[in-house]
Each structure stands twice: as structure tokens, then as C-alpha cells.
Structure 1
């Protein structure tokens, strides 16, 4: 499968590259990764990074890095997770420090969600959110997610937000 490049008004969502790993590993080693099960050492971050790349070959979807069009800066990642650690296909996002509060996560996740519904013909996606992660709860709501209290979750205590394909 060819990994797509998606564009929005302000962003380019592109395939991951090895030179993305240092910034990714730094985020995963920081307290900012607490809502993603971190902090992680380099070995753990590498495993997650490789998982995001491998998903494309295994499932036809995975993670894309988020570049800001105005200056080409990589500001984070958006992806569709799956595999034995995820009960359902999960739409997730992360932003590097200093890029929150501009709508980038919502813009990137909306583009990938729409792509998944159109090109993968998915009927539903979920986002797993730690109850204390207010910014991600807001993003999930802006994306049209509705709390699904019956959905199986990735980690005990997570909230599941469900998105459905438009008919």
C-alpha cells in the first residue's frame, strides 16, 4: 500500500521518516506523554514509532506526521491505530510542545477521519481519551465524537468517543 499524503488548508499530513524519530522520542520521554502511557525510554518510543509505520503494511492505515504548510515545521502526528493492543480502529493525535491551541489537532484528525471513511470504507472509528486529558476530549467532541460508554477501551478508565461514517 502506498502511504498517502493529505493536505488541509494549513497542514500537510505525510508519511513518517526516520528523521522524525528524535522529536517523537523526545515527546514520548517527556511528561507530555502521560496520557499515552508514558513517559517512555528510547526503546519504548522506538517500538511505538515502528508500530505506527508498520500499520500501513499490516492494515492499510497508520500514522502520518503533521507539517505546517506556512513553514514546513513538523508539529506532531495523527494516526489510525489497530492491532492486538486496540479493541477497535482508533483515531489518535499528538502535538509537539508549543503547537496546541491553534486547531491543528482537530484539522489533522478531521482530514484523516474523512480519508478513512472514504478510502478505507470504515463505518466507525473511536478515540480513546484519558478522562483528565481535557484538550483531547475537546478535540474528540469537535470531530463529532460521541461518548460511547459501551465501547471496549484500550486502557481501563479511558473514555471512548465514537465517530460514524456519514451516509
Structure 2
């Protein structure tokens, strides 16, 4: 499977590389990862990072790193998760500390969502949220996601937003 590179007006979404792991591991070890089940130690962060890459071979989708075109700085990750831990294909994102509030998550997630609907012909995607993760739920709403209280949950207590193709 060839991992695609997607471009938006401000961002390049590209395949993960080894030099992306230190910043990823730092985020996963921090209190900011609480909404993803963290904080995680280095070993678990490595497993999560490898999961994100392996999904491309196993399912034809996975994680892409988010680079800002103007600076070349990697500001986070966006991905489509699946496998035995996810009842449905999940659109997810994370931003590294200091890069929130610039619209990067919305722009990256919109590009990957649209790619998934047009290239993979998916009928739907979901995002799973901790009920206290209001900022990410706001991103989901900006993406056109609607709350789906009937969706199967990844973890008990999750809030689920659903996306459908608009075309």
C-alpha cells in the first residue's frame, strides 16, 4: 500500500517517519493525552505509533503527520483508525502543544475525511470522544459531524460523532 500525501491550502499530510516519534511520544507521555487513555509510557507510545503505520498495510488507511507548508514543522497527526479496538472506522486527530487554535486539526481532518469518502468509498466515519474533550467535539461539529447516541462505543461513556459523505 502506498501511503498518500494530501495537501490543503496550508498543510501537507504525509506518511509518518521515524523522526516523528520523539514528539509523538512526548505528547503521549503528557497529561494532554488523557482524552486518548493516557498518559502512556514510551513502550506503549511506540506500539500506538506502529499501529498508526501498520493500518495502511492492513486496512488501506492509517495515520498521516500534519506539516505546516510555510514552516515545514510537524504539528500533529490525523488518522483513520480501525481494527479490533474500534467498532467502526474512526477519524481522529492530535496536535502537539502550542499548535491548537489555528484550525490545523479541522483542516487536516477535513482533508483526510474527504479522501476516505472519495478514495475508500466509505459510507460513514465516526469520532470517539471522552465526554470532557469539548475542544475536539467542536472540531467534529465544524467538520459536519453530528452526535450519534446510538453508535457502538469504543469505550464506555464515549461521545460519538458521525460523518457522512456530502456528495
Q: TM-score range by the shorter chain?
A: over 0.9
Structure 1 Cα separation of the partners of residues 142 and 122 of structure 2? 20
Matches within 5 A, 1:45-64: 45-64=45-64
Number of aligned residues: 167
Deviations 1:30-51 (A, max 9, x none): 0000000000000100000000
Structure 2 unpaired stretches of 5+:
none
Match of 1:4 in 2: 4
Gaps spanning 5+ residues in structure 1: where?
none
Deviations 1:22-76 (A, max 9, x none): 0000000000000000000001000000000000000000000000001000000
SS state of the match for residue 26, structure 2? helix
User: Following superposition, which runs of at least 4 residues in structure 1 exceed 2 angstroms of deviation?
Assistant: none
Residue 135 (structure 1) shift: 0.6
TM-score of the aligned structures, taking structure 2 as reference length: 0.99
Shift of 1:166: 2.2
Structure 2 residue matching 1:126: 3-state secondary structure: strand
Map 1:54-133 → 2, pairs under 5 A: 54-133=54-133
CA distance in 1: counterparts of 2:113 and 2:17, whole angstroms: 22
Instruction: Please list, as runs of the form range in 1=range in 2, the aligned pairs for 1:139-158 lying within 5 A after superposition.
Output: 139-158=139-158
Aligned CA-pair RMSD: 0.5
Write the distance in 2 (CA, Å) between the matches of 1:166 and 1:59: 23
Tell me the SS of whatever aligns to 1:80.
Answer: strand
